[in-house]
A and B are shown apart, each in its own frame.
Chain A
Amino acid sequence: MTRDAAHLLPSTEPVTLIDSDGHPVPHVGHDMPDPQALVSAYAALIAARRFNDQANALVRQGRLAVYPSSHGQEACQVACVQVLGDGDWLFPTYRDSAAIVARGVDPVEALTLLRGDWHSGYDPQTTNVAPQATPLATHLLHAVGVAHAARLRGEPTVVMALCGDGATSEGDFHEALNFAAVFRTPVVFFIQNNEYAISVPLARQTAAPSLAHKGIGYGVPSERVDGNDVAALLTVLGDAVSRARAGEGPQLIEAHTYRVQAHTNADDPRRYRSEDEVTPWLSRDPITRLSDYLAEQGLLDDERVAACAADAEQLAERMRAGLNAETAADYRDLFAHVYAVPTSQLREQQALVADELSREEVR
């Protein structure tokens, strides 16, 4: 194992392969993904944007209690999923609903938490997507554990563990990096640095040159990437997954992006940042950038644009149908999943609720 610090150092600038005008940027050591991967990413980006827009609309209509949007971060959302294999795992946060859906989780099940029906609406076992973590950075250690178990069994699993810039201040982030490095577990820690933890800007989270530099102290090779450039993300994340799978241990990737919308619908960003700060980021939109590039390369015609838009609309339709339908919550769920075998106290408490509900019906 190399102890050379230099190979751990991230590049001084984030890796970019397509600039914000849609032009290719040559980059030593990082190749442009193949056209098919970029076309797939385009379809996924359109779907992810539609998912965010539809979820925001459902909040306004009162069908979702709350939605932390990843609008503007869709390149990160889709790339981190596209580089995974079926047997790999994704460990998402509350802002990664679009990534979960890109991974194949049913969009209505993905939003169960935010609708208020149940905590985690999907089955983590069928898609290898862990329950979304609302506490910060705690799930990164679970990701290390999942990867370590797979390694002990000789399975080629890689775990993609997501967090934001704020979470890098939590102790669990540092413990996760250290454990992963010491045990050489195949985890890719993917930080979506969107500059804000609710109202607190990055400058109040760290004095380090970048969040990627945090890997050095733990012996984790780290890289910085333009978080609005899906081509660069696919290459950098794809390489990281390959290294992790090849037994080179954990990797840390920091994507530089921006939370262009509020933390959630309950937030008021006017209290802590100006529109002038947000505006330049709108012109760095990940979708415009990729579609400009693909059009320039002759990889995207009107027919494909229309087909992707139609697929995205179908996704939105599925969300509306599922989330506008009235679902009856079942009181038995309160007690059914606390233990493998409900305690006698829980059985008594369930009977009490059953009695109350039956009396209400009589009235």
Chain B
Amino acid sequence: MTSVVPEKMTMANALNRALRDAMRADESVVMFGEDVGALGGVFRITDGLTAEFGEQRCFDTPLAEAGILGMAIGMAMNGMRPIVEMQFDAFAYPAFEQLISHAAKMRNRTRGRVTLPLVIRIPYAGGIGGVEHHCDSSEAYYAHTPGLHVVAPSDPADAYGLLRAAIESPDPVVFLEPKKLYFSRSEADLTLPVPPIGTAVVRRPGTDATLIAYGPAVPIALEAAEAAAQEGRSLQVVDLRSIVPFDDETVCAAVRSTGRAVVVAEAAGFASVSAEVVARVTERCFHSLHAPIRRVTGFDIPYPPPKLEHLHLPSVDRILDAVDELQWEYA
């Protein structure tokens, strides 16, 4: 049963509802990982699932990420739709080989005879004052690997819809959950059609320049647009939602409409998703651009300790500075 009217909820609530609704709708959907049973996950995303669906369908595993994902691959090969939780971004790395060499390649290796409908949920990115290994933005590793879908919601409604879509997907989906947005609350109508994976959305209309963001960077981009509006500049905000597949059409249409763009991302800028966005948009929209596309990203450093993270993360000021540099003298 889903709700019939929009209600205020957190992203954590929405993700929990998506798991619950998917498990009610399809008995082959199972959820497992570390601390996802009695505890309900360290962020409580799986709260109550073992109570409702039993130990067979939501269960704790031994503490071994390669084991978790490897077993999920086998279960997906045999008629199940597993969802696994990696406890934190950096704790997903032991599962890297299973993900890159097997999850991503099974369809290709078998000419489509074996497919893997599985979801790898990863609480990711920083901004929560977490200690080392708890705040990585690891999306580029996954996005660089053909065969994986990679999505990152920025609000409760999308979190619900994208997770339902990810569970329905015939291919493996790396589902990145911005930790700092887990407990942000907004209205969500869960009865709306689920947005297909691979569609970006314009979050805020604007005419002067386009901010392109995803996941944890979206709220800060919206805040920057609000600040710019007070200074008389109209910024459009595009939320990618899905990194792979990439919605060239929506993003390029948005950039063409303003002729200026800034990409905002929390991850280090070098060899990153933000770099890919700039490359794609430049290739397609060069003649519509009034200025080179700018980026506001994390620095090319290991994620800093809590006391320094505010200097690392994209800020409203840094976004507005980048917007200022978009060659307005030629407008």
Task: Show the binding face of A for B, using Cβ within 8 Å.
Answer: 65-66, 113-114, 116-119, 134-136, 166-167, 169-172, 197-200, 204-206, 266, 268, 271-272, 329, 331, 333-335, 338, 343, 345-346, 349, 353, 356
Contact = CB atoms under 8 A, between A and B. Distances in A.
A135 B131 CA distance: 12
A356 B132 CA distance: 25
Contacts of A117: 305, 307
Nearest to B65: A170
Interface string B54-68: 000000111111110
Contacts of A206: 62
B308 interface: yes
A199 B37 contact: yes
A226 B235 CA distance: 65
Interface string B35-70: 101111010000000000000000011111111000
A167 B299 contact: no
A94 B93 CA distance: 18
Nearest to A357: B311
26 contacts: A65-B129, A113-B131, A113-B305, A114-B131, A116-B307, A117-B307, A135-B94, A166-B63, A169-B67, A170-B63, A170-B64, A197-B35, A198-B34, A199-B38, A200-B37, A272-B38, A329-B307, A329-B308, A333-B308, A334-B301, A334-B308, A338-B301, A345-B300, A346-B301, A349-B301, A356-B318
Contact of B311 (A119, A171, A345, A353): A353
A271 B302 CA distance: 34
Interface string B281-317: 0000000000000000001111011111001100001
A118 B305 contact: yes
B141 interface: no
A169 B131 contact: no
Nearest to B93: A135
A349 B300 contact: yes
A198 B301 contact: no
Given A135-B133, A198-B42, A169 B62 contact: yes
A119 B61 CA distance: 29
A118 B91 CA distance: 20
A125 B133 CA distance: 23
A169 B39 contact: no
A339 to B, nearest CB: 10
A331 B131 CA distance: 17
B44 to A, nearest CB: 9
Contact of A170 (B94, B133, B270, B311): B94
A119 B90 CA distance: 15
Contacts of B65: 170
B22 to A, nearest CB: 23
Contact of A346 (B134, B300, B307): B300
Given A272-B38, A338-B301, A135 B270 contact: no
A327 B133 CA distance: 23
Nearest to A169: B62
Contacts of B61: 204
A135 B91 contact: yes
Contacts of A338: 300-302
Nearest to B128: A65
Contacts of A118: 305
Nearest to A172: B94
Contacts of A272: 38-39
A90 B244 CA distance: 44
Contact of B63 (A65, A66, A169, A343): A169
Contacts of A170: 63-65, 94
Contacts of B38: 199, 271-272
A134 B305 contact: no
Nearest to A346: B300
Contacts of A349: 299-301
A297 B147 CA distance: 69
A331 B39 contact: no
A214 to B, nearest CB: 12
A233 B62 CA distance: 27
Interface string B194-213: 00000000000000000000
A169 B68 CA distance: 11
B308 A199 contact: no
Nearest to B270: A345
A268 B132 CA distance: 22
A331 B310 CA distance: 10
A173 B150 CA distance: 30
A136 B64 CA distance: 9
A113 B131 CA distance: 7
Interface string B83-123: 00000001101100000000000000000000000000000
A12 to B, nearest CB: 24
The 9 closest A-B pairs by CB, nearest first: A116-B306, A199-B39, A169-B62, A166-B63, A272-B38, A329-B307, A169-B63, A169-B64, A119-B132
B254 to A, nearest CB: 27
Given A134-B133, A345-B270, A171 B60 contact: no
Contacts of A346: 299-301
Of the candidates A113, A114, A166, A329, the one having the most CB atoms from chain B within 10 angstroms of its own CB is A329
B91 to A, nearest CB: 7
Contacts of A116: 129, 131, 305-307
Contacts of A333: 308
A135 B60 CA distance: 19
B297 to A, nearest CB: 10
Contacts of B300: 338, 343, 345-346, 349
Contacts of B40: 271
Given A169-B63, A329-B307, A356-B317, A66 B131 contact: yes
A275 to B, nearest CB: 15
Given A197-B35, A271-B40, A356-B317, 4 more contacts: A199-B37, A329-B308, A345-B300, A346-B299
Contacts of A119: 131-132, 305
Contacts of B91: 135-136
A334 B39 contact: no
